[in-house]
Amino acid sequence: MDKAVFDESGIHIVAAFLDQDECSLLNSAISNLNTESVGTRNLLNYSWC
């Protein structure tokens, strides 16, 4: 990580944090969440979190 860039912008982009299979698994899990409301509480109660 380039600390100077992080200190300047407040963000750091991480390449390849998740592989394609992990992204697909997360996409499947979150696609089942209720999108009719403003959000979900207690995400840690979900087995995938």
List pLDDT tens digits, range 1-49: 678 888 889 888 888 888 999 999 989 888 877 778 777 777 788 887 7
- C-beta atoms surrounding 26 within 10 Å: 13
Instruction: Check: pTM over 0.75? Answer yes or no.
Output: no
DSSP secondary structure string for all residues of 1-49: --HHHHHHHS----TTSS-HHHHHHHHHHHHTS--SSS--S-GGGSTT-
